[in-house]
A and B are shown apart, each in its own frame.
Chain A
Amino acid sequence: MQENVIDQSKDITILELLDRVLNKGVVITGDIVISVADIDLVYLGLKLILTSVETMQQRRLTTIKPNQPQK
C-alpha cells in the first residue's frame, strides 16, 4: 500500500513534468522548425479554423437584439 503511494507520487510528478514540457514553454512553429511531431501542424491548422468559427459566431450574436419583433 505504501509502495502504491510512492508510485503514484512518481507518476504525478512525471505527468506534471510532461504536461509542462510538451504543452507549455515557448512555441516556435513554421517553416524553420523541423517537425518532429507532425501533430503540431494539425493543431496549428485547427487553431486557425476555430478562431474564425468563434469570430463568426460572435458576429452573428451581436447582430441579434432581444427585442426585435418576432416573425
Chain B
Amino acid sequence: MEKIIYAIIANAGKTEQVNDYVTNIRGITGSNLYALHFNEISVAVSDFQSSKFIISKELAIDFARVIEELSQQLTVLPIRFGTVVKSDEIVKQLLTDNYNAFRENLLKVENKHEFGLKVIWDYDKCSEKIRSKVESEEINAGKYFSKSTINTNYLLEKLKKHRLEDAVLKHVELLIEEISRFLAQINPDCKFKKMLSQNIILDGVFLVEKNMKSEFIEAIEALKQQHDDLHFLLTGPWPPYSFVEIQIDK
C-alpha cells in the first residue's frame, strides 16, 4: 500500500506520546494517520492509493489541515503535498538517510510560527514620483547611440524601461530595510520576494518566536502607519512551510 508523507516531527524521545497524538488526527481520504520513528525524529504517514485519487484543491486543503493539527502540539517540518512513496520501509529510509538535516531544521523552527506579509500598491499612483525622477534624468541618448535608427530607438526605450525597473526595485529594497528596522527587537528569520507583479511589491515570510506573536503584529501595524500609500496583507500563524531548507532527490 502506497504511503503519503505529511510532516517530519521532533519527538524528544517521547514516541508513545507522539503515537497517541498522531493517531487521533484523521488523515486525508479518510485514512488513518500514524507515525514512524527513528531516534529523535518521527514522521507522520498514512495509506494513500495514488491511482484512486485526483490531485484536487480539496485534497490539498485537507492535507494542510493535517499539518495544522500536528503543529498545534508538535514541532513539524511540513512535506510538500503529493509526496507519495511505495512503503513504510522507504519512509524509514528517508528518515535515517536525512536524520541530521531534519534534526537541525527542526531545531531551527522549534517554538516558532511563520507569518506572511504581502505589500501592495497602486503602481500608477505610487510610482509617480519615481517615474518622473527617472524621466527627468535625461537619458542622454547621444551618450549611448551615435545615431537614431529603429534599432537604437528600440534600445533607448528598453534602457528607460530598465532604469525605471531598477529605481522601483531600489525603492522596494529600502522598504525591506525599514521592515528589518521595525522588527529589530524581534529579529526573526525572514525571506523576501520583490515585485511579484507591478502592484504586489513585496512578499515576505517571517519565522517568529511564538511568544513574540503580539509584538510582531504590533510592529507590522506600526510600519503600516508610516505608509498611507501602501497596503498590507498579513497572514498567519502558519506552520513553518517556508523555512524548510531540505531538498531530497533520490
Interface positions of A (Cβ within 8 A of B): 12-14, 16-18, 20-34, 36-37, 40, 44
Contact = CB atoms under 8 A, between A and B. Distances in A.
A23 B196 CA distance: 15
Contacts of B248: 26-30
Chain B contact residues: helix, strand, loop or mixed: mixed
Interface of B: 2, 5, 8, 50, 55, 57, 60-61, 63-64, 67, 77-86, 90, 94, 116, 233, 235, 238, 241-242, 244, 246-250
Nearest to A18: B60
Contacts of B244: 24-26
A25 B78 contact: yes
A16 B57 contact: no
6 contacts: A16-B235, A21-B81, A22-B81, A24-B78, A28-B80, A29-B249
Contacts of B94: 28, 32
Contact of A21 (B5, B8, B63, B85): B63
B80 A16 contact: no
Nearest to B250: A30
Given A20-B242, A25-B244, 10 more contacts: A18-B61, A20-B64, A21-B60, A22-B82, A26-B80, A28-B85, A28-B248, A33-B83, A34-B86, A37-B55
Given A17-B61, A20-B242, A26 B249 contact: no
